[in-house]
Structure 1
């Protein structure tokens, strides 16, 4: 029965409603997602210069995502179900389609390539990066505010 709860958390709908019977009682859960992420698609290496410049005005977040990886899909889902800070731009990089950009990110910001991976850019430098299960919107918010 608790599997239904986990599945509901992973579904990418605005509102998910799960109803089941447990011990002869009707049990209902309603989950509401956070604000929908306004991803900026990262499709060219030229955008990295824009990210560096914009990071002098406000934090820039890059999420490197593999469309072939279930862990990456879960990390993306966790981010999308959380309210993102208003004072940061969020970029989405499809690693499968744009591996060259991922390599450029590694060299430009002196980070080891991982997937999934989140990077926070401030004043032209990567000040925070995490991967896999360590990706957390709460931690991103804390780092953005620091």
Structure 2
């Protein structure tokens, strides 16, 4: 038990749950359509993730740690590009943004208001865009 305390963050369970974004898995074109519709009411964020890329994992963790306080101000969607290349192309085509991975797309009123990829993801301050 002493060893567990040594590696503990010292945060309560409620604090830990606030440290991460609650992601909704994006898996099909119907969900993309719904995201675009809902963006009129609440900003939508799509994180395009590569499950085989270490940079993608680091970018996601950095994004989450810098923006977890915005969790209630937008809806967050996680898209794993390896699972559906066709949907990846559809996202790029519909939103007019060249595909990259990792990539964050911030959508309001059916259009991308800001996007970033790779190392620039860690510099995103969502409160400026949502």
TM-score by length of 2: 0.82
In structure 2, the partner of 1:80 is 64
Give the aligned CA root-mean-square deviation in angstroms.
2.2
Instruction: Indicate how the Cα distance of structure 1 residues 38 and 135 shifts in structure 2: closer, same or farther if over 3 A, else same.
Output: same
Q: Which moved more, 1:81-90 or 1:46-55?
A: 81-90
In structure 1, the partner of 2:48 is 64
CA deviation map 1:63-90 (0-9, x unaligned)? 0000011100101111233424111000
**How far apart are 1:55 and its partner, in Å?**
0.2
Q: Which has the higher contact order (CA 8 A, sep 6+)?
A: 2
Map 1:24-63 onto structure 2 (within 5 A).
Answer: 30=9, 34-63=18-47
Cα distance in 2, alignment partners of residues 49 and 75 from structure 1: 26
Cα distance in 1, alignment partners of residues 124 and 97 from structure 2: 21
**Paired residue total:** 119
| Structure 1 ranges of 4+ moved more than 4 A | 30-34
Map 1:1-146 onto structure 2 (within 5 A).
Answer: 17=7, 30=9, 34-82=18-66, 83-85=68-70, 86-136=72-122, 138-144=124-130
Unaligned regions of 5+ residues in structure 1, if any? 1-14, 19-29
Structure holding more strand per residue: 1
Q: Return the index of the structure with the highest Cα Rg.
A: 1
Instruction: Indicate how the Cα distance of structure 1 residues 76 and 54 shifts in structure 2: closer, same or farther if over 3 A, else same.
Output: same
Cα distance in 1, alignment partners of residues 106 and 6 from structure 2: 30
Unaligned regions of 5+ residues in structure 2, if any? none
Q: Is the 8 A contact 2:63 2:124 kept in 1?
A: no
Structure holding more helix per residue: 2
SS at match of 2:20: coil
